[in-house]
Amino acid sequence: MLRANEKMLKKLGIPHEVLFTHSNSHAGYYPGATRLSMKLVFDKSNGRVLGAQAVGAQGVDKRIDDIAGVIRNQGYIYDLQELELAYAPPFSSAKDPVNMARYVAENIINGDVKMIHWQELSKLSAKDICIIDVRDEEERKAKFIRGSLHIPVNDLRSKLSELPKDKEIVVYCEIGLRGYVAYRILTQHGFIQIKNCQTDNAPL
């Protein structure tokens, strides 16, 4: 954990935004890659990095050290992309998880994607929103949000006529990537009220 966490910022009344990324600890084509989950806390108004947490089996300390340097220099999410990090397939990917956190943060700041956290989603009335599960059938069998429609992301384009344009639409998957793809598909077809939700840590 670095400098400031979400709980501390809420207590102090400091505006902030939170994102989660889930990347491979190293290049996926190289054997032994494991999930590395990162939480980045930043100021949405200017992109200043406020804190971070990471969980994983490999390379967690390396990524936190990288972000610690940015915070120490009062850096911004844009600096995370510019970091030139050591690369070799057994240790990282060409786009390191630290770089990927920056891309997600910039999408949020620029309004290219609107996020909603599961805690917020649980407070909304089902009659006011349309929730779409864009995961595969096997994933849905394990857990799902009650009242959600099941439309795998690969089938979404063929189902657009079945979706309401007078309601807010929330798309969700396991870690956010397919939700982001679904979000982009919907915006490109004229849907305006859309949000992407990550449910990997939600008690469904």
> For residue 203, what pLDDT is reported?
47
Please tell me the total number of residues recorded for the chain in this structure: 204
Helix axes 60-72, 97-110, angle to 10 degrees: 50
Cα pseudo-dihedral 179, 202, 105, 74, rounded to 10 = -170
* Residue 83 near residue 99 (C-beta atoms within 8 A): yes
User: In the predicted model, is pLDDT for residue 103 greater than 90?
Assistant: yes
Phi, psi of 73 (to 5 degrees): -95, 15
User: In the predicted model, is pLDDT for residue 1 greater than 50?
Assistant: no
Tokens of 39: 């939480």
Q: What is the pLDDT of residues 136-172, one digit of tens each?
A: 999 999 989 888 999 999 999 999 999 998 899 999 9
For 173: left if phi > 0, alpha if psi spans -120 to 50, otherwise beta; the answer is beta
Tokens of 97: 């998880």
Nearest-angstrom CA–CA distance, 6 and 52 = 9
Contacts of 6 (CB under 8 A, 6+ apart): 16, 18, 39, 41, 51
Q: What is the pTM of this model?
A: 0.85
Kindly state the greatest CA–CA separation across the chain. Answer: 50
Q: What is the pLDDT of residues 9-31, one digit of tens each?
A: 999 999 999 999 999 999 999 99
Query: Of the segments 67-71, 126-130, 144-148, which one has the largest average pLDDT value?
Result: 67-71
> For residue 199, what pLDDT is reported?
65
